[in-house]
Amino acid sequence: MSVLDNKKISFIGGGNMAQALISGLVGCGIKPNLITVADPSSNAREQLAAKGLNTVDPMADPKSAVIGADIVVLAVKPQMMKVVVSAFADVLDTQLVISVAAGLSTDLLSNMLGGYSNIVRAMPNTPSMIQMGATGLYGTNNISAEQKQLATAVMEASGLVMWVDDEEHMHAVTAVSGSAPAYMFYFIESMVDGAVALGLDKEQASALAMQTMLGAAKMAMNSDDAPAELRRKVTSPNGTTQAAVDSMQANEIGRQISEAMQACYDRSQALSEEMSK
């Protein structure tokens, strides 16, 4: 039995992230007829309705998706949020509101919602689309223990969930998971290019690089050893791996990764400040 059983969930916005979360929820056994999606695109509504979901045209009836819902997921672009939510803010009562909009603090969201504060801020990442996501969550003081469980269950349908106690830590979440799939793709891309330069064809290089990345991640997740210890165990003195690791250390790859994450963190803070003006 799930805490989401018989809970009505409404998505405001039916784009890629909303569809990823919906796919995870349905895959976990949530009945499609308990999910409503408000999206202005008639094509999007038709596609979602074909999957058994309820759909609403927010331009014609902006409040119907929110009235009667237990959970409202805000999945629209940050720049559009204020206009979108102002159309239904006055009918919010006890609903749990989950926002997946980057850069919008809970205080700013509360202001947009006319002071409503049953809000959880979420920072998912794109692997949520294949139910392999990693999501950071932060909730206001108004969030009850039950609502915290509901938010966890909604986001866990698409992967790992971690709560932070300080909203400022959401910038760190952005740096380590929200934006980080791009780091992994960049690393894979570079490995493929390197393997091709060494003589493999691109298909061979891509398959080997991606499987190695996946295998290493799974091995690290299933091991009691820290990543540093796993690295030491596969690095034979004076061997091929040692040569590669020595090259990375000489080029300060670790420092460069830390600096890249700091740049991501700083930009996340700047975006939040820009959205607050």
Contacts of residue 84, Cβ cutoff 8 Å, sequence gap at least 6:
12, 13, 58, 74, 76
Per-residue pLDDT, 73: 98
Q: Tokens 């805000």 map to which residue?
A: 74
Residue pair 168/273 in contact (Cβ under 8 Å)? The answer is no
151 and 252 housed in the same domain: no
150 and 209 housed in the same domain: no
Give this prediction's pTM: 0.91
Confidence of residue 198 (pLDDT cuts 50, 70, 90): very high
In a domain, 2, yes or no: no
CA dist., res. 159 & res. 162, Å (int) = 10
CATH code of the domain in which 242 resides: 1.10.3730.10
**Mean per-residue pLDDT for 161-169?**
97
160 and 261 housed in the same domain: no
Per-residue pLDDT, 201: 97
**Mean per-residue pLDDT for 58-66?**
93
Query: Into how many domains does the chain fold?
Result: 2
125 and 250 housed in the same domain: no
Per-residue pLDDT, 30: 93
In a domain, 277, yes or no: no
120 and 207 housed in the same domain: no
Q: Tokens 């039950």 map to which residue?
A: 146
Using CA atoms of 251, 252, 258, 262 in order, give the dihedral in degrees to the nearest 10.
Answer: -70
Does residue 264 have a pLDDT over 90? yes
What percentage of the chain reaches a pLDDT higher than 90? 91
83 and 202 housed in the same domain: no
36 and 139 housed in the same domain: yes
**Average pLDDT, whole number, for the chain?**
95
184 and 84 housed in the same domain: no
**Mean per-residue pLDDT for 145-172?**
96
Domain boundary among 129, 146, 170: 170
In a domain, 255, yes or no: yes
In a domain, 4, yes or no: no
Residue bearing the bigger pLDDT, 176 or 1: 176
Does residue 121 have a pLDDT over 70? yes
Angle (nearest 5°) at CA 206 between 134 and 201: 170
In what order do the strands lie in the sheet containing 119-123?
Answer: 54-56, 35-38, 9-12, 71-74, 96-99, 119-123, 133-139, 159-163
CATH code of the domain in which 15 resides: 3.40.50.720
Domain boundary among 170, 200, 219: 170
Domain boundary among 106, 135, 170: 170
125 and 46 housed in the same domain: yes
**Mean per-residue pLDDT for 142-169?**
96
Contacts of residue 276, Cβ cutoff 8 Å, sequence gap at least 6:
105, 108
Does residue 1 have a pLDDT over 90? no
**Mean per-residue pLDDT for 27-40?**
94
75 and 152 housed in the same domain: yes
Give residue-wise pLDDT tens across range 201-249. 999 999 999 999 999 999 999 999 999 999 999 999 999 999 999 999 9
The boundaries of the domain holding residue 85 are 9-170
165 and 191 housed in the same domain: no
**Mean per-residue pLDDT for 244-255?**
97
In a domain, 242, yes or no: yes
Per-residue pLDDT, 167: 96
Does residue 9 have a pLDDT over 70? yes
34 and 121 housed in the same domain: yes
Does residue 99 have a pLDDT over 70? yes
